[in-house]
Amino acid sequence: MPPFRTAQEQLAAMFGCHDPDLLTERVSALDFDGRRVPIACATLLLEGGTDALVKPGSQSAFREGNTNPRSCLKSWPDGEQTIGDGTVLLGDSQAGSSQPKL
C-alpha cells in the first residue's frame, strides 16, 4: 500500500473500500506473477528508480516466465512515477520496425 494519503484515497474509491486491512488485501491481489501467467510476447518494461509509488525491482515480475529474447527492462535511476523527464524512446524506421532503441 502506498504511504501517501492521496494514493490511498484513490485506491479506496476505486475498490469501494475504506478498511485499511481489506484495502491492502485487495490491492495485493493485483500483484502480477509471471511464473503463473507468463507473457510470451516481447515486453518493454520501464521503471523509475525514485518512484514513490512503485518500488524499484517491482517490474521484474513481468520478466519472470517471459522467454522472449527481445524483452527488456529499462530503468532510469533518477526517474519518478512518470517518465516525463525528457527521455525519449526512438523507433527504428528501417524495415518498418517499431522496436525501441535502448
**pLDDT above 60 for 93:** no
pLDDT for residue 17: 92
Q: Where is average pLDDT lowest: 52-56, 65-69, 72-76?
A: 52-56
Give the chain's radius of gyration (CA, Å). 17
DSSP H helices in the chain: 5-15, 20-28
Alpha-carbon gap, residue 83 to 100, rounded angstroms:
15
Question: By the 8 A CB rule, do 68 and 40 touch?
Answer: yes
Q: What is the pLDDT of residues 12-49, one digit of tens each?
A: 999 999 999 999 999 888 888 888 888 889 988 888 77
What confidence tier does 81 reach under pLDDT thresholds 50, 70, 90? low
In the chain, the amino acid numbered 80 is E
